Structure 1
Amino acid sequence: MTTSAPVSCLGRTPRADARLRLFCFHHAGGGASFYASWAGRVPPGVEVLPVQLPGREARFREPRFSDAGEAVSALGRELAPLLDERPWAAYGHSMGALLAFALAAARLREGGRGPEAVFLGAYAAPHRTPTLPAPDRYGDAELARALVGFGGLDPRFLDRDDWLRALLPIVRDDLRICASHRRAGLPDPDDERTRLPVRVEAFAGTDDRLVDPAGVRAWGRYARDFRMACVPGGHFFPREAPVPFFDRFNGSLHRILAALDPPPGVRC
């Protein structure tokens, strides 16, 4: 069973009978392919829906976002029918964590159906000193070396000028999204009354050279129910050390599924 219309940022039509839709938001400079293997790693009943931002991969001809508020508003409009239709959760990695959390905040602020949980990976809370490079601080060569430094770019590509010319403009616009987080409609970390009434779980890589656990832990000032776990691996730990990450992540997904209504045909 499927919904009636495809959604461009998903690249396909989601199923209408999934028990839990898991919307996944990719990192700066990345794309939905980061989540290509996730469908086979999560529990049955969870539908993995990688969100593809415009300007890359299958949407490379479309204008890119460069502002967090614009990106969250556009994603919220496009995904709203799906978010209201079925229970959902969100996972965001690095830049995607900002988008996932801001989308959840927008849904609750606007009276829409909120998520069962929001999962954040490898991203410091927005009020912390930025860990990602400033979008216009470095020239192309310096920015490329910075990406290599924290594991975001294979060093072999430093000599591929043609490839870098295609990648670096995408990275810069994504970094502009991160730098504009104040326009994303986030709660005030200094006001406990604004914390989201949603379970938020954050993950930090023990070998992450870009984001330290203290920065990730600071997300606790944005949500009333906050948990954090350190998992093996660097900045891209779901890809570098998937087994320990999915052991922890799937435990949380199983708890969400257990709390939902039983699947069709199951009687209590």
Structure 2
Amino acid sequence: MINDWVFAHKERPEAEVRLLCFPYGGAGASIYKGWERFLPETIELCAIQLPGRENRMSEGLIYDADLITERLWNEAPQWLFDKPVAIFGHSMGAVLGYYLTCRLQATEPVNEVRRLFISAAKTPLQVARKDPLLTLSDDQFLKQVQELSDAAAPGARIQGWADCVRLLRNDFTLCENAVQQHSAPLSVPMTVLYSEDDLLVSPDECERWSLFSKHPTNTFAVSGSHLFLKKTPSLIVKIISSQLGL
């Protein structure tokens, strides 16, 4: 553990790129533990830990992607952005990855983002959307989320049923409130991963990310349910490495 915001499971000072990974809703940075063994030495893994989960359980949850991005930028260690980065996010994490990419593109001098990896996520809309799941009772909400994501339990190490519901509602609200950050597409190449069997996010919804980059967007179909990254980490890391040319 290097900083409240960052898990760097294996520091690689000679790496060409830092891979910043954001967790999906209901999870923490530990979901990326072990990914470093699949990565080449040219890529350094930095999993981003969000407030209100795992080792940061004592902190309040944040459902504002803008605020999370701003706090990460201001509070993360300076070395995090001292070399080119690639950004990966799954589901809610992809939304946060997009927000951080926009933030880095707006800095002076511009921080180099080699590629943005979007996994199993809907695009932020120009106006916030209403998620019908959030209107359900707590029992129904948790049951629906687990059924749609094919998850027996949330990924974060949290205590108790009430904490589980609170965390998931927070993260769904964050996605519901996410809006497009720039009218013009990003000048960052993008890779999108999706599954035909995902019950939460359709392939068509994933492919709309192509409108968010000036570059041609590469898409990859991965087998599995919404949380396919849990069962296929080596495949996903292989795609990441290949797309970065490392």
Query: 2:3–2:77: 8 Å Cα contact kept in structure 1?
Result: no
Query: 2:20–2:47: 8 Å Cα contact kept in structure 1?
Result: yes
Superimposed CA distance per residue, residues 34-66 of structure 1 (whole angstroms, 9 cap, x where no aligned partner): 111211112222111110101111111111111
CA distance in structure 1 between the aligned counterparts of 2:151 and 2:223, rounded to whole angstroms: 19
Shift of the alpha carbon at 1:228?
Answer: 1.3
Superimposed CA distance per residue, residues 155-206 of structure 1 (whole angstroms, 9 cap, x where no aligned partner): 7x9xxxx732121111111122112212xx6223xxxxx1111111010012
Query: Which sections of structure 1, spanning at least 5 residues, go unmatched?
Result: 189-193, 258-268
Q: Does 1:72 align with 2:63?
A: no
TM-score, normalising length: structure 2: 0.87
Q: Which runs of 4+ in 1 moved over 6 A?
A: 128-132
| Residue of structure 2 equivalent to 1:140 | 138
CA distance in structure 2 between the aligned counterparts of 1:129 and 1:73, rounded to whole angstroms: 21
For residue 198 of structure 1, give the secondary structure of its aligned residue in structure 2: coil
CA distance in structure 1 between the aligned counterparts of 2:102 and 2:77, rounded to whole angstroms: 13
Superimposed CA distance per residue, residues 98-152 of structure 1 (whole angstroms, 9 cap, x where no aligned partner): 1011101111112231311110100011229999945741211011111122125
Q: Does 1:205 align with 2:203?
A: no
| Residue of structure 1 equivalent to 2:112 | 114
CA distance in structure 2 between the aligned counterparts of 1:6 and 1:242, rounded to whole angstroms: 23
For residue 229 of structure 1, give the secondary structure of its aligned residue in structure 2: strand
CA distance in structure 1 between the aligned counterparts of 2:150 and 2:163, rounded to whole angstroms: 15
* RMSD of aligned residue pairs (Cα, Å): 2.6
CA distance in structure 2 between the aligned counterparts of 1:240 and 1:40, rounded to whole angstroms: 15
Ranked by relative contact order (alpha carbons within 8 Å, sequence separation 6 or more), the top structure is 2
Q: Does 1:7 align with 2:41?
A: no
Number of residues of Structure 1 aligned to a counterpart in Structure 2: 239
Query: 1:234–1:240: 8 Å Cα contact kept in structure 2?
Result: no
| Residue of structure 2 equivalent to 1:187 | 182
Query: 1:124–1:131: 8 Å Cα contact kept in structure 2?
Result: no
Superimposed CA distance per residue, residues 191-235 of structure 1 (whole angstroms, 9 cap, x where no aligned partner): xxx111111101001211111111010011111112211111111
- The one-letter amino acid paired with 1:23 is L
Candidates 17, 20, 42, aligned match of 2:17? 20
For residue 114 of structure 2, give the secondary structure of its aligned residue in structure 1: coil
For residue 48 of structure 1, give the secondary structure of its aligned residue in structure 2: strand
Kindly, what percent of the aligned residue pairs are identical? 25
Which piece of structure 1 moves more, 87-96 or 67-76? 67-76
C-alpha change, 1:132 and 1:95, in structure 2 (3 Å) is farther
TM-score, normalising length: structure 1: 0.80
CA distance in structure 2 between the aligned counterparts of 1:40 and 1:32, rounded to whole angstroms: 16
For residue 28 of structure 1, give the secondary structure of its aligned residue in structure 2: coil
Q: Which has the larger radius of gyration?
A: 1
Query: Which sections of structure 2, spanning at least 5 residues, go unmatched?
Result: none
